[in-house]
A = this chain, B = another copy of it.
Amino acid sequence: MTYCVGLMVDSGLVFMSDTRTNAGIDNVSTVRKMKTWDVPGERFLCLLSAGNLATTQATVSLLDERMVAPSERQPSILSQPSMFQTAKLIGETVKEVISGNAQGGQIAESVFSATFIFGGQIKGGRPRLFMIYPEGNFIEAGADNPFFQIGEHKYGRPIIVRTYDPQMSLEDCAKLLIVSFDSTLKSNLSVGLPIDMQFYETDSLAKGYRRRFDQKDEYYTTISEGWSNALRSAFDALPAFER
């Protein structure tokens, strides 16, 4: 399993992803599920992935290779005119990887399934955030659905739904997502530390602040421990039930 979130606020985008990957409960590894590309002053792109690791890595590699190998330069992830076209390219690449594996191999396509959160900004456009499905199609975030989650999304959803505000600072988004991730980590062993976080500030057209939170991270442990007490106080503050 996996847990990734992409969150859109007025001041920018915040991406967070865990790093646990497993093939069975007794075969656990750590892998970065966040990939960024940037051309300062022109564009910033961030891609989070959940699902079959071979599919997500092949997709990222294809997007990368097409960028660097001159002969295959045509559908380059850095040469698309808009975020929409870039999302479309990623969708087509995922679809290609999945159908390539499915042909002549295992029949069940679901085994190779992968879902992505993709966001960023290209000069001339506004920051945009998408969720890309294994079928290659995608949906976009807006005022009514300002965030996407992929992977084990249920445990960490209520806190985002109740606390999200489009005027939050990126720092508050970081705090919110850490609470959401911590709730998920406490409930599902297949989501694990370290956690990668990436900020993108609206109109900066550059890679923003990035941080990895691991087991020893002081802020992470403060939030993780503090949240139980804070929640307990919030609970105590609610009116008592009377028969």
* A179-B223 contact, Cβ under 8 Å, with A154-B187, A155-B154: no
A174 vs B230: C-alpha distance in the bound complex, in angstroms?
Answer: 20
User: Is A69 an interface residue, CB under 8 A from the partner?
Assistant: no
User: Is A108 an interface residue, CB under 8 A from the partner?
Assistant: no
**Contact: A228 with B162, CB < 8 Å?**
yes
User: Is A243 an interface residue, CB under 8 A from the partner?
Assistant: yes
* A175-B209 contact, Cβ under 8 Å, with A158-B187, A235-B230: no
**Contact: A226 with B209, CB < 8 Å?**
no
Number of interface residues of A (CB under 8 A): 40
* A241-B178 contact, Cβ under 8 Å, with A163-B235, A187-B161, A234-B233: yes
**Contact: A219 with B235, CB < 8 Å?**
no
**Contact: B235 with A179, CB < 8 Å?**
yes
User: Is A238 an interface residue, CB under 8 A from the partner?
Assistant: yes
**Contact: A171 with B231, CB < 8 Å?**
no
Chain B residues with CB under 8 A of A171: 240-243
**Contact: B186 with A161, CB < 8 Å?**
yes
**Can you list, as one digit per residue, whether each of A200-243 has a CB less than 8 Å from chain B (1) or not (0)?**
00000000010100000001001100111011111101111111
